[in-house]
Amino acid sequence: MNASLLPVSEALTRLLSRARPVDASEQVPLREAAGRVLSADVAARLTQPPFHSSAMDGYALRADDAPVIGSELTVIGESAAGHGFSGSVGEGEAVRIFTGAPVPEGADTVLIQEDAEKRDGNRIRTTFAVTKGRHIRPRGQDFAEGDVVLSSGTRLDPARLTVAAAMNHPALSVYRRPRIAIIATGDELVSPGTVPQPSQIIASNTFGISALVEAAGGEVIDLGIVADRSALIEAAIGKAVDEGADVLVTLGGASVGDHDLVQKCLKAQGMELDFWRIAMRPGKPLMVGSLGAMQVLGLPGNPVASLVCGLLFLEPLVAKLAHRAIEHRARDAFAAVPLGQNDHRQDYLRATLARDHDGRLMATPFAKQDSSMMRIFADSDCLIVRPPHAPELPAGAPCPILLLRPF
């Protein structure tokens, strides 16, 4: 392994090159399928609509019986959704019909109710020209039984779930979500809601990283907080393997200091280390490796660095494993203030966004960028990307950004 700092782009390429989308599938009820990716084609189990149906409220009749405006017909019955007319329409006859109802046998057009004048008894008079086939939805107009409407690899959104239901599928075959085991390590960590003792802090990373995993299509296996004890860390690693995790994410302890035991414990369990030092700020001590079939991603313990690395590396990894398109957060923007020269590491500056009078996205970095400050991360709209050795930029100059949320 090269001990020098690895460029971000190379690190991401190496990480994703080892990732293989999960090929296992499962049946899930339609109500639980939103956001999932189909693992098999979905064919219609019936024809839709199953009969010629009316697109409007009005009268079903034969066009030949109303050759001119002012033609009169006799209404012989009614056809409503779920309650079709059982007879047929003969010469000079019409059936009152409502939207979605079956068009009676013999009828070949629908005259909308606004174009019909009621006469004495059951008679109507046309007040508008009648066109054969008007306002009728033919049987099978949407799809026919056996038609493949949704293909394998399709991500299920509201419209696709609706058509799956219309095709009479109560459940669908989808790819299993990638299982992402998360371990937070450190003697100093305690759960939110706990009163921290001296030298302790609240463990916050797991929640943001878990949300990121789930949004990208993964399933979280939360293995909790593990103290800085080799036996405990190795036991947690073993549990991730036993749980069938596709990826093990460790939070903290991946460096090589005296109290950083994660990398040592993983190596003791047989991890093949690919790399662990990235030319970026925040987030230099990122660890990537594999333990058998399980990929390992060690994120920094610092919450800001952990989230930045999560967005850059974990999000696209989970998306690829989940058969999803990788979200591209990169956008073009302009610096609202001058930006200083950068050093050898790629920098990610937390920043807010606004639009100028020309509608351009203007990015303003926070004055303080200390990686311990989560509050300004929560207030940020984007990360300004400063490449290694980037020169000073004047206000108004183009600068690349990564969107943190829609803007």
Q: In terms of pLDDT, which residue wins out, 321 or 370?
A: 321
CA 267 – CA 134 distance, rounded (Å): 73
CB 308, CB 283: distance < 8 Å:
yes
Cβ-Cβ contacts under 8 Å for 183 (sequence gap 6 or more): 223, 224, 226, 233, 236, 237, 240, 248, 249, 250, 251, 262
User: How far apart, in Å, do the first and last CA atoms of the chain sit?
Assistant: 40
pLDDT digits (tens, 9 = 90+) for 249-298: 999 976 666 567 999 999 999 999 999 899 999 999 999 999 999 999 99
pLDDT value at position 372? 85
Edge-first strand order for the sheet with 219-226 is 219-226, 179-185, 247-251, 294-299, 287-291, 272-275
CB 59, CB 122: distance < 8 Å:
no
pLDDT surpassing 90 at residue 56: yes
pLDDT value at position 258? 58
pLDDT surpassing 60 at residue 2: no
On the CB side of 369, how many CA atoms lie within 13 Å of its CA?
Answer: 16
Cβ-Cβ contacts under 8 Å for 32 (sequence gap 6 or more): none
pLDDT digits (tens, 9 = 90+) for 7-25: 999 999 999 999 999 999 9
pLDDT digits (tens, 9 = 90+) for 33-55: 999 999 999 999 999 999 999 99
Query: Which tokens belong to 197?
Result: 């003792």
pLDDT digits (tens, 9 = 90+) for 305-318: 999 999 999 999 99
pLDDT, mean of residues 364-376: 93
pLDDT value at position 276? 86
On the CB side of 396, how many CA atoms lie within 13 Å of its CA?
Answer: 2
pLDDT, mean of residues 130-157: 97
CB 38, CB 173: distance < 8 Å:
yes
State the pLDDT confidence band at 3, using cuts at 50, 70 and 90: low
Question: Quick one: which H or E segment has residue 10?
Answer: helix 8-17
Per DSSP, 39 falls in state S
Q: In terms of pLDDT, which residue wins out, 372 or 96?
A: 96
CA 273 – CA 1 distance, rounded (Å): 8
Architecture of domain 330-403: Beta Barrel (2.40)
CATH number at 53-137: 2.170.190.11
Share of the chain above pLDDT 90, in %: 94
pLDDT value at position 253? 76
Query: Which tokens belong to 35?
Result: 């956001």
CA 402, 404, 405, 407: dihedral to nearest 10 degrees? -40
pLDDT digits (tens, 9 = 90+) for 188-234: 999 999 999 999 999 999 999 999 999 999 999 999 999 999 999 99
The residue extents of the domains of the chain are 8-23+177-321, 25-48+156-175, 53-137, 330-403
Per DSSP, 6 falls in state B
Share of the chain above pLDDT 70, in %: 98
Q: In terms of pLDDT, which residue wins out, 350 or 285?
A: 350
pLDDT value at position 1? 39
Label residue 89 exposed, middle or buried (CB < 10 Å: 0-12, 13-18, 19+): buried
Query: Which tokens belong to 190?
Result: 């305690």
CA 394, 329, 304, 292: dihedral to nearest 10 degrees? -140
CATH 3.90.105.10 is the classification of domain 25-48+156-175 = yes
Longest Cα–Cα distance in the chain: 99
Amino acid at 141: Q
Name the CATH code of domain 8-23+177-321 (choices 3.30.70.890, 3.40.980.10, 3.10.180.10, 3.90.400.10). Answer: 3.40.980.10
Amino acid at 208: G
